[in-house]
Amino acid sequence: MREYVDEGETDVTTDDAAAPWLIAGLGNPGPEYAMNRHNVGFMVADLLAERVGGRFKRAGKAQAQVVEGRIGPPGPASRRVIVVKPMSFMNLSGGPVNALREFYKVPVAHVVAVHDELDIDYGTLRLKLGGGDNGHNGLKSMTKAFGREYHRARFGIGRPPGRMQVADYVLRDFSSAERKELDYFVDRAADAVECLVIEGLERAQGTYNS
């Protein structure tokens, strides 16, 4: 992997089909957060890194971990991807993601944020392009950094039970019952992201949105 070096702001305006894709799994760094609902984006990113045969490395001065690789069948149909885990904590995700987006010359429309979503039932997946942040601090930070017209892979975690505060809920580990299906749902989310990158949003939505 070539080393990230901060070369200052770069205007990335191309939306060339050959441009790389940047897949940002959102979460919080540190073992105490590893199995939190808020960290499902990291879980999907870890699986995608494993699939491309890479290991996360620190991205130079960028506050993130990065894996570079290709997905899809060998040949012209494969796509170059940069899988990113921001190490800045959730509410500051936009800075590291944008720095790497500029460095790798990734159009905004080739960015995919993989994140937890409160307003979707557990395990349900929804893919979309653009839209609001729905109170999600990671998305809010990314939108502030480079606009809203990036893709989102929304992994449903459901609403907190009773009167539990949202912050407490998302920063708790998945329950024992949820963990029984978690690997399957993470695997399916990784499949959906690959489909989005290789075959496009409409095909991916038709196959994986539920």
Checking 65-73 for CB contacts under 8 A at 24+ apart, the result is 66/1, 66/4, 66/100, 67/1, 68/1, 68/2, 71/194, 71/197, 71/198, 72/194, 72/197, 72/198
- Full DSSP string of 163-190: T--HHHHHTSBPPHHHHHHHHHHHHHHH
> What 3-state DSSP class applies to 92?
helix
Contact status, residue 129 vs residue 150, Cβ threshold 8 Å: yes
Residues near 35 by Cβ (< 8 Å), separated by ≥ 6?
173, 174, 179
Given this model, what pLDDT does residue 76 score? Answer: 76
The string of pLDDT tens digits covering residues 51-105 is 998 899 988 777 999 999 999 888 777 899 999 999 999 999 999 999 999 999 9
Residue 38 annotated to the active site: yes
Confidence class for position 8, pLDDT limits 50, 70, 90: very low
Name the pTM for this structure. Answer: 0.90
